[in-house]
Amino acid sequence: MKNVVIKRSKNRKKTVEARFVKDDLIIYLPDNINKSDEEKWINKMIKWGENHKRKKELDKNTQLFMRSQKLNKKYFNGELDFSIKFVSNQKTRFGSCSIRKRSIRISDRLAKMPQWVLDYVIIHELAHIVYPNHSNKFWEKVNQYKYAERARGYLIAMGMLSEDR
């Protein structure tokens, strides 16, 4: 993000909006907004813009898809059909799987973690395509990954996973 441009409008009564125009973040504010609300909204929109840019960069990187296909082949005989992408709005979980859509969403927080931790979360979500629960069969599949216990321990040590999972 090169510049942050603030545009005020008399026609805008309550809504705040932000969008990118090329590399500039344009923030649209009501003309009558008070100073403290203005500062709050500007900071919030700048944070949104940073998250948006980071996610776009992660999405450009095809390594997540290639890695997930490699794990699909190794642990599921390459039989699973799915889409996978990083997301920036998962704050309480590392991944999610929509079984119906066969889409996996991985928290962008994992992009900076060791590869074996990311692999564990990918395998966990892939297993949900086959077992849409946390049954014994599900855990048997996930635990085929040789670093499963280590990855769970890592996430617990980082304060990011409860011990009862």
pLDDT in tens, 85-107: 888 788 788 899 999 999 999 98
Tell me the average pLDDT across 101-124: 93
| pLDDT of the residue at 153 | 92
Contact 3, 25 (CB under 8 A): yes
Ordered by where they begin, the domains of the chain are 4-60 (no CATH), 63-157 (3.30.2010.10)
pTM of the model: 0.70
